[in-house]
């Protein structure tokens, strides 16, 4: 069975962070669309003050409409959980499954700022001189670029129930160096029969730390 994956990165990262995963999924016969959100990576020149969460959701929905994507598996890493939740809400008829990779899982009215810990909020306040974007953390990939600040502050607006999709998976990175801010999310969803959860022995960047296990999980979602 051929699936169509739409891959949304976390903060400061572009579609390049999914390069290996994209090649592997395509090697198994699937369609794959890695997304670079507006204002980041090769689109970092598109960073006016108006780039927010809605912009990044529209990046995904516009791609899905332009590429005529149906029965999509939306995959969001970290901040990307905000984006795939919003995109699925706007185009529910085109989405089959949602996969959150060590990501935030928002409800109506949540912002990324509200869902993270004080440690992440302290990082968010380290902005570039323009005030529009958050600096990448020092240990990020050298290709990481500043991330639009408004996208983590804007509350998500939903019109439907996220539980209406066929399948929702949460992939938890169990190998953080220190306390993971996503542990409470994983523990809550693990007890929810509406979710399929996975704990993977890797750091937050699962695409780099646990590529084999992540590939198997996504192939399982596609087969389901």
In angstroms, the CA 7 to CA 214 distance is 13
152 touches 10 (CB < 8 A): no
Residue 148 neighbours by CB under 8 Å, 6+ apart: 37, 38, 39, 40, 47, 51, 52, 55, 56, 132, 133, 134
In angstroms, the CA 185 to CA 197 distance is 11
CATH code at position 102: 3.40.50.1820
- 0.75 cut: is pTM over it? yes
User: Within the chain, how many helices (H) and strands (E) appear?
Assistant: 9, 8
Active-site residue, 180 included: no
Residues of the chain below pLDDT 70: none
Range of the domain at 54: 4-223
DSSP string, 107-131: -TT--HHHHS-HHHHHHHT-B-TTS
In the chain, how many domains are there?
1
Tokens found for residue 105: 């899982």
Task: Write the burial class of residue 161 (CB in 10 Å: 0-12 exposed, 13-18 middle, 19+ buried).
Answer: exposed
Q: What are phi and psi of 110, to 5 degrees?
A: -80, 145
Give the model's pLDDT for residue 163.
83
Marked catalytic residue, from 44, 78, 117, 130? 78
Tokens found for residue 175: 């190998």
Give the model's pLDDT for residue 162.
83
Q: How many other CB atoms sit within 10 Å of the CB of residue 214?
A: 25
Give the model's pLDDT for residue 177.
82
DSSP string, 163-216: GGSSEEEEEEE---SS--TTHHHHHHHHT-TT-EEEEESS-S-HHHH-HHHHHH
- The terminus-to-terminus CA distance of the chain in angstroms comes to 9
Give the model's pLDDT for residue 46.
84
**pLDDT tens digits, one per residue of 144-203:** 999 999 999 999 999 998 888 989 999 999 998 888 999 999 999 999 999 999 999 999
How many residues belong to the chain?
A: 224
């Amino acid at each position: 069975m051929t699936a169509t994956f739409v891959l949304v990165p976390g903060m400061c990262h572009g579609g390049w962070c999914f390069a290996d995963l994209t090649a592997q999924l395509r090697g198994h016969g699937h369609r794959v669309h890695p997304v670079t959100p507006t204002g980041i990576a090769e689109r970092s020149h598109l960073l006016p003050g108006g780039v927010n969460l809605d912009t990044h959701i529209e990046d995904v929905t516009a791609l899905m409409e332009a590429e005529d994507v149906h029965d999509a598996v939306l995959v969001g890493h970290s901040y990307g959980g905000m984006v795939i939740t919003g995109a699925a809400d706007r185009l529910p008829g085109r989405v089959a499954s949602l996969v959150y990779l060590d990501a935030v899982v928002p409800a109506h009215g949540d912002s990324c700022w509200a869902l993270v810990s004080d440690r992440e909020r302290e990082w968010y306040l380290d902005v570039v001189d323009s005030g529009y974007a958050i600096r990448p953390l020092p240990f990020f990939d050298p290709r990481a670029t500043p991330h639009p600040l408004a996208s983590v502050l804007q509350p998500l607006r939903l019109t439907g129930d996220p539980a209406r999709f066929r399948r929702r998976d949460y992939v938890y990175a169990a190998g953080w160096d220190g306390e993971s801010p996503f542990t409470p999310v994983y523990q809550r969803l693990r007890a929810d029969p509406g979710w399929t959860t996975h704990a993977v022995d890797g750091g937050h960047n699962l695409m780099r730390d646990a590529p084999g296990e992540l590939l198997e999980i996504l192939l399982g979602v596609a087969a389901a």
